[in-house]
Structures are given as C-alpha cells and as structure tokens.
C-alpha cells in the first residue's frame, strides 16, 4: 500500500512557507510539510499505508503504549503550528487521507466557515483547568453539617448509634455534594471572568481524586499572565477546603477550533 497523508491541522496559507522551513517532525518522526489550497494550508506528513490503514489503526488506538507517543507527536506539531501561524484548527488524531488530492478536497470544503473560525481564534489559545479533591475525605465545607451528628452518635446507645451512623453516611454525601457544587461555582466564576469563552467539560467519577470541575478556557495568548493569575487565585482560595487545581496550557484551541 502506498503512503497515506496524515493531517495535523489547518492554518492560513501565509504560514505555509514557514512550516516548510521549520523542519518539523511529526508522528513516527516523519517530516511535516504544508499543502495549500488558497487561502488555507494543511500541515501533513506521509505515513506507511500498511501501518496506518483503517483496520490496523482501529486496533492500535486501544493500545495505550502505542497511542501515547503518537498522540503526543500530534499535539506537538499543532503546538508548533500555533507558534508559527498564530492560529491553527487542529484536526482530531487519526485524520488520514489517501493522497494529496484528498487533502486538497478537504481544504476546499466549506472554506468560508474555516476562514471564519481561523479569524475567531487568531492570537488565542486554550487552557484546561481541573478542580479535584481527595475522594476518601470530605471537603472542609461539609464538616459543620456533621459535627452535631457526630456528638449525638458518641452519646447514643449502640442500636441508636448504628442507625445514626447510617444517617451520617447519607448526610456526609449530601454535604460533600453541596460543597463540591459551591467550589465548582466559585472556580467557574473566576475563570469565566478571565477568559473570553469557557466550556465545562463532562467528568467521570471514580479514582482516588474526585474531579469536581473540568473546564476549557479560550483567551488571547497575550493575556496568558491574567489566565495564570486567575488559576492561581482559584487554587489559593479553595485549597484550605480540600480542593486542588491542575492546569495545562496554552494549547491550540482543540475544544473551540478542532475539526472532526
């Protein structure tokens, strides 16, 4: 099978020459080049068709050891494109085309929409902020709801104490849920104020760290300092209550600008 074209992202055509001069390396250390259809350019590399056909790829994306370095390379190329062009529409991992003509056809589709999205993201980047707490403990805001119940349990006979312990489990869960909702509301308010746009991501429960909030932020790269300050203020304000903030960025706008 001949080589397939792997597309990392789309940038304005004016960045094509800079991409070619940058000597970027992408997945499996393949050279990255620009392919243009006025007024756009795609950053692509050639991958072995025997290794990257649809059936093989569907199997391999289940293998974390195989996937992780290639996903990292995909993100790394898009991060470089953001530096080079000031804006990029990143494609999802695994965007493969049979040949250059297939990429040109993709670039030619719905050009005004692509241009509009590029214009809306020019000079901007994305941050991802996650608010977590230890799932084994209760947030400080929930302790007051339990003090009176703990005193009553301590002074109760065994039978009544057993029933109160069961009630305590329910009260603790409800109190923690309220505290988590308050912490998420405080964090989201501070981040909303600092960013141009926010998107609250769905989160999964489970594991030692309970994810209370995950939010993607879009903001001008020139205001990175203000975003970092807002993130730090959330961490400082909620840490005493048992919450911690994890943040990464600036990244290309995967949430706000990625194409399927």
Cα 8 to Cα 93: distance, rounded to the nearest angstrom: 8
**69 in Cβ contact with 77 (< 8 Å):** no
Cα separation values, 50 from 4, 54, 57, 186, 211, Å: 9, 10, 10, 51, 40
Cα 131 to Cα 133: distance, rounded to the nearest angstrom: 7
pLDDT tens track of the chain, all 260 residues? Answer: 589 999 999 999 999 999 999 999 999 999 999 999 999 999 999 999 888 888 888 888 888 999 999 999 999 999 999 999 999 999 999 999 999 999 999 999 999 999 999 999 999 999 999 999 876 666 665 566 666 666 666 666 666 656 656 666 666 667 788 888 999 999 999 999 999 999 999 987 665 678 999 999 999 999 999 999 999 999 999 998 889 999 999 999 999 987 76
Burial track 201-221 (b if 16+ CB lie within 10 A, e otherwise): eebeeeeeebbbbbbbbbbee
Using alpha carbons, select from 250, 203, 257, 253 the residue that is nearest to residue 228: 250
Cα 40 to Cα 111: distance, rounded to the nearest angstrom: 8
Cα 26 to Cα 64: distance, rounded to the nearest angstrom: 18
Q: What is the number of alpha carbons within 13 Å of residue 36 lying toward its C-beta?
A: 11
Using alpha carbons, select from 194, 20, 47, 42 the residue that is nearest to residue 106: 42
Secondary structure of residue 25 in the 3-state scheme: strand
| pTM for the whole structure | 0.80
Q: What is the number of alpha carbons within 13 Å of residue 186 lying toward its C-beta?
A: 18
């Amino acid at each position: 099978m001949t080589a397939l074209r792997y597309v990392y992202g789309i940038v304005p055509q004016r960045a094509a020459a800079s991409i070619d001069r940058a000597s970027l390396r992408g997945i499996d250390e393949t050279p990255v080049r620009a392919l243009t259809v006025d007024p756009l350019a795609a950053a692509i590399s050639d991958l072995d068709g025997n290794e990257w056909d649809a059936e093989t790829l569907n199997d391999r994306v289940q293998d974390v050891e195989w996937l992780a370095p290639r996903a990292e390379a995909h993100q790394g190329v898009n991060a470089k494109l953001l530096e080079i062009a000031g804006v990029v529409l990143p494609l999802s991992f695994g965007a493969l085309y049979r040949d250059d003509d297939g990429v040109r056809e993709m670039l030619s589709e719905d050009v005004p929409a692509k241009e509009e999205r590029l214009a809306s993201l020019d000079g901007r980047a994305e941050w991802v902020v996650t608010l977590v707490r230890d799932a084994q403990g209760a947030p400080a805001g929930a302790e007051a709801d339990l003090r009176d119940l703990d005193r009553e349990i301590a002074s109760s006979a065994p039978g009544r104490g057993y029933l109160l312990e069961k009630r305590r489990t329910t009260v603790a869960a409800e109190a923690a849920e309220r505290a988590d909702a308050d912490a998420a509301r405080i964090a989201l308010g501070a981040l909303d104020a600092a960013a141009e746009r926010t998107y609250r991501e769905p989160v999964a429960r489970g594991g030692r760290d309970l994810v209370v909030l995950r939010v993607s932020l879009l903001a001008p790269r020139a205001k990175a300092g203000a975003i970092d300050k807002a993130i730090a203020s959330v961490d400082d304000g909620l840490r005493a209550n048992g919450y911690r903030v994890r943040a990464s960025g600036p990244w290309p706008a995967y949430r706000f600008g990625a194409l399927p």
